[in-house]
Structure 1
């Protein structure tokens, strides 16, 4: 492989934990509370239990793929190997949708948090500026970016623990159970995308797998430790906030945590304002980590021939995919102009669920087609864990298509366009070497 398309191995298990938690931890700060508007407190809690089971079974299964095929492409690489070019295209497209729409959602929350602190600062301008600043940080190199992520993640966790300590004494069960299931069990299914938001993008660890020093052990430890951390924090934050004020007061805000403290201590309290300020740590950690992930996905798709080759160029000194970073920034800023936070969250989670489905199908396929593949970590309780993850992901996708048909249609139209571009490219004889090799490998398997 050309040196201009090679990534540097610099990461440890601790870095992976930080990247994994950092990718997701902003979900504790905002986004999940939109689920109260469609399900109420208990409805969202039930949805989160279902999604926690999905992620536990998925991550333990997904880690087998990540350690067996450590590639910057992540799910794209697994599906490409399992199902050939078409499978790779579905996984690559879905992963890009997941991460590229998650980034502007978080940048919007960053803008809203700063606007909460300083009303004279327009949220949109701050959101755009955040893209530019953190793209610049990522250009410094992955090791530097990973250490920055580690610091931000630790600070975000500490802040959430402080919030829990302050909020827990003010929790009232009567408040939490006020109108808990306003839309019945149907609301639970409508809330699934917002429950997923508490964990979405965790699989992004796989996209830095090529850059891990002690690949197999570090990847497994990073995934599992990150998942445990996130489950504990998700339930603690959701329950604490739900017992402070009626959910109708908090279900449509991008800053539910500082607003909760404002209810307890007063909006002008120094602690409230301080929390809103340092609350940016969690948003920054996720935003920064997602930029790392989508740039690696664009890099991997380009290197394999699905996107123009220029997108897989890396800088000579820092070994960062700078062209992919610039493209992701441009797409993210564009998304800010067309979608609000709730729609960005749903589009991101639709992409995520499709990734989970194709990844579990890839696991089953590779177990059958390549039984002798080196698998440093094997999914426990196979085939039950991946089957549970696949079933829950499929149910979640059906519920999202039913509940959000317009956004699901946007996702589908994008996928059809990608297939059309691939077909036209092949007919015109513009196939890249990467795609030709993938097709030959797939045909050889068949």
Structure 2
């Protein structure tokens, strides 16, 4: 049994040239795609929780530390995406450098990560949507907004938005990108408005004490808010639908992360300066802070816009999920239904709906609770592997053309891997337990189905 067999890079590049997907995305589309995925629940929800429970006013430092870990990984993503512009993100990159077994593990974790993000954000979206309806005097029956565990039937708004996202993605990537672009401009505009208005209400005494929970709180806060940086890896999943992937993918990955990091730091500084950190432990900290300083009108605008802007997170993460499944299915590790492309729309039509229905079921019938740490575990695992993969690829394929190269190799990837591992060990034991349970299920699926049906096993045979 050879679970370390690898896909030849030449074969991957040939597949990308004759892809059945439509190349319609530009560098600007990719930057906006990344911003659409990164800015959402993290900035509208997690800022308050992290400040009140972990970081205090030092939330700025937590975001900076998390951004450093994300930046290291972004450099590696950019190099891989420019050298191997194939759908599948870090799953594909691991397949060509470290073999099928580790590729399966990371692909399996990415499926969980993306599915949980879509489902969790859908539940949050449902809450904002209900608040918006109540402003017009409309109240949905509790049976249609609560899960069976909570005493209802199912969360109808959450199910409806996930299915709407699946329908949009199944119709075409360019159509989805256009909607994302429009919403991203609205999202960034709202955030800039909050920063400009909120800056006039900052009281320096709210930043004292700056480290109420000590440095351990800053580190734990960084592990929690790392959720906020999830999404830029989904940009690399668009590789086979980009007009000029070797040039545009690095721009999209690094550009979106840089813009979002600056916005996160500014928002966290203004937010903790407006309101004492202990009061920010609620699900809408940005709107709450504005209400505390008497800006009720702007707080209402923020709450209403959240219904629209959070949609882009689901849109991009659901997109990334379907492209991971597409790549794994094309490799034979998942059933072929995920790789079938619609003749007219040029999208993995059936796979999009299967993934959408799964995410809708989770959002509608299961109270997901605090998923940020479990999602972070999948992200950080991917970040460790991709940086190791850069080192392996540099050693084995030194002459492979690259549109972008990570500076400071081998030190930069090694340091980035250590930072990601450090954040992983700051996550809770429950998170680690859930991670290993999901990993165990994945191993069973791989050895019962994926290993036997792999295209390498059927066509080329295992490497010798």
- Normalising by the residue count of structure 1, what TM-score does the alignment of the two structures yield? 0.91
Q: Offset of 1:361 from its aligned partner?
A: 1.1
From 158, 170, 178, the counterpart of 1:147: 178
Counterpart CA distance in 1 for 2:366 and 2:461 is 36
Alignment partner, residue 449 of structure 2: 425
Counterpart CA distance in 2 for 1:286 and 1:194 is 18
- Of 98-107 and 185-194, more deviation after overlay is shown by 185-194
- Normalising by the residue count of structure 2, what TM-score does the alignment of the two structures yield? 0.87
8 Å CA contact 1:72–1:208 kept in 2: the answer is yes
Alignment of 1:52-131 (within 5 A): 52-119=67-134, 120-121=139-140, 122=145, 124-131=155-162
Q: Offset of 1:294 from its aligned partner?
A: 0.8
Counterpart CA distance in 2 for 1:147 and 1:376 is 26
Which structure 2 residue ranges, 5 or more long, are not aligned? 1-14, 147-154
Q: Does the alignment pair 1:396 with 2:430?
A: no
- Of 293-302 and 180-189, more deviation after overlay is shown by 180-189
8 Å CA contact 2:203–2:273 kept in 1: the answer is yes
Alignment of 1:31-430 (within 5 A): 31-119=46-134, 120-121=139-140, 122=145, 124-178=155-209, 180-253=210-283, 255-265=284-294, 269-336=296-363, 337-342=365-370, 344-400=371-427, 404-425=428-449, 430=452
Counterpart CA distance in 2 for 1:341 and 1:176 is 30
- Of 185-194 and 167-176, more deviation after overlay is shown by 185-194
What's the Cα RMSD here? 2.3
- Of 72-81 and 307-316, more deviation after overlay is shown by 307-316
Counterpart CA distance in 1 for 2:16 and 2:211 is 57
From 31, 44, 49, the counterpart of 1:17: 31
Alignment partner, residue 10 of structure 2: none
Alignment partner, residue 3 of structure 2: none
Q: Offset of 1:2 from its aligned partner?
A: 12
Q: Offset of 1:144 from its aligned partner?
A: 0.8
Q: How many residues align?
A: 432
Which structure 1 residue ranges, 5 or more long, are not aligned? none
8 Å CA contact 2:57–2:273 kept in 1: the answer is no
Distance 1:53 1:321, change over 3 A: same
Counterpart CA distance in 1 for 2:64 and 2:450 is 45
Counterpart CA distance in 2 for 1:240 and 1:155 is 20
Distance 1:176 1:97, change over 3 A: farther
8 Å CA contact 2:223–2:424 kept in 1: the answer is no
- Of 16-25 and 410-419, more deviation after overlay is shown by 410-419
8 Å CA contact 2:246–2:402 kept in 1: the answer is no
8 Å CA contact 2:167–2:353 kept in 1: the answer is no
